[in-house]
Amino acid sequence: MTIEQANQYFAALPDGFASTEQLRAAFTAPVQKVQFVGVAGTAGKTVVARLLAAILHAQGIHAGLYHAGSRPLSERICIDDAPVDEGLLALTAEALSTAEALPRDAAELAAAANCFGAAGCTLAVVELPDAGLAEALPGMPVCAVTSVGPDGVSRSVERLAALAAGVMRKGSICVTAPEQPKAVLSELIVAAGKCGCELVVPDPEDITFLEAEKFASKVDYGGYTVPLAFLGRHAAGNAAVAVELSLALCRKDFDITDEAILEGLAAVENRSSIRVVSQRPLVILDACRTPQQAAALLRVLNMAKVRHMSAIIGLTEEEGAEAFFSALETGLTPEEQKKDKSTMPGMSENPFDKVYLVTPQGTDTALTERLTEKAKYHFDAELCATLAEAVRLAHANTRRGLLVCGSEAAALEAAELLANS
């Protein structure tokens, strides 16, 4: 099997549920020697995982990293800050393809774990779109639950918190995000108590924003002062989680110095979270897809006093779209909107003069047509046949710049298009 065939194999697998027994059966023997750090939650998983992996790399710890997402799997499994050996992943994929078929999330995690085991990794940081998969991992001294909020599937935040708490296990240390909703934090506290897991909650008052240039971030968390490639308070909270995970690993007998923590936090590049591609004209890419993330993006734009932009939005799901558009208009999450009745749809001052809806690769055009009608309640919205057309119209009609958001697929497609233009 070639690496192209391996990537296609994983991409073609269906969604679905795998039992703990099925996933464990897919692990090879060397996986048992790897210690894992599972990262669950609604928003911030990718950034937290990358920050912690960079810290481990700075410390010289032989570590792996796995991301969920829409890019080819060979780009989402790393060992020692480098993409996994393609031959190793191809062999792993071939072995999995001859065994009992697993749904995509479980198969990708099994492939990543088997690669980490074969490479002799000491630690591996794994992003878990399904926290229940964590139960199959052999050892997990620490874990994380990032920000929990509406995910577009009509589940309550209490239910989402309970699902994310599946990453916890007896004797481990779980770090959660600062400023979680009270209902979420209460659910996590109960879950931690039931399974005998220690819960660490960073203090928001320990996060200080230091003076920095426009669209730059310099943050101090408990004495750890670093320039961050990620913008906004939500991103600073992710950095705080990475710091606390490092300190928790120290308590579990992994030697991580303050210097390695600072070096790792400063080293990670921003690929998809409020990524400023250029200042003149202002071009921002953001893979945000939840109301939480949309509100965080709007707060950053409002703090920078940005106005008269065009937005290009490429959502891949209809569920939760109304809440996403509302948050992108007002900067308020659904919970905050319930408390604030002063704004009506389409009446809030925001940075966007015009919004263009596009269909990300692999998504149904009819979905985007329906989303455009929803967006019209909040913005001057228009449907575009292609992302290229939307970029052309946005450049022609904007006075300040453009934003591309709504999904990782849209942000990645836009990055490639802009790089080749």
- Co-location of 51 and 172 in the same domain: yes
For residue 138, what pLDDT is reported? Answer: 94
How many structural domains compose the chain? 2
pLDDT, one tens digit per residue, over 410-420 is 888 888 888 87
Q: How many CB atoms lie within 10 A of CB 94?
A: 14
Q: At which of 267, 288, 303 does a domain end?
A: 267
Residue recorded with tokens 């202002």: 282
pLDDT, one tens digit per residue, over 95-152 is 999 988 899 999 999 999 999 999 999 999 999 989 999 999 999 999 999 999 866 5
- Co-location of 301 and 261 in the same domain: no
- Co-location of 303 and 319 in the same domain: yes
Between the CA of residue 211 and those of 85, 226, 268, 280, 302, what are the distances in Å? 41, 12, 20, 22, 17
For residue 279, what pLDDT is reported? Answer: 83
* Residue 129 contacts residue 164 (beta carbons within 8 Å): no
For residue 227, what pLDDT is reported? Answer: 83
- d(CA 13, CA 387) in angstroms, rounded, equals 27
For residue 348, what pLDDT is reported? Answer: 72
Between the CA of residue 184 and those of 177, 190, 239, 297, what are the distances in Å? 10, 10, 20, 22
Q: At which of 267, 301, 326 does a domain end?
A: 267
* Residue 405 contacts residue 294 (beta carbons within 8 Å): yes
- Co-location of 298 and 240 in the same domain: no
* Beta-bridge mates of residue 176: 145
- Co-location of 257 and 279 in the same domain: no
- Co-location of 157 and 197 in the same domain: yes
Residue 208 maps to which CATH number? 3.40.1190.10
- d(CA 74, CA 244) in angstroms, rounded, equals 29
Which domain, by its residues, includes 205? 3-267
Residue recorded with tokens 């497609």: 413
- d(CA 175, CA 158) in angstroms, rounded, equals 18
Q: Is the peptide bond before 345 cis (omega within 30 degrees of 0)?
A: no
* Residue 247 contacts residue 255 (beta carbons within 8 Å): no
For residue 347, what pLDDT is reported? Answer: 55
- Co-location of 260 and 281 in the same domain: no
- d(CA 80, CA 256) in angstroms, rounded, equals 15
- Co-location of 259 and 279 in the same domain: no
Q: At which of 267, 295, 329 does a domain end?
A: 267
Q: Does pTM top 0.95 for this prediction? A: no
- d(CA 97, CA 113) in angstroms, rounded, equals 15
- d(CA 325, CA 406) in angstroms, rounded, equals 10
- Co-location of 127 and 161 in the same domain: yes
For residue 178, what pLDDT is reported? Answer: 93
Instruction: Give the residue ranges of the chain where pLDDT is below 70.
Output: 150-154, 211-215, 334-335, 337-347
For residue 340, what pLDDT is reported? Answer: 59
- Co-location of 238 and 299 in the same domain: no
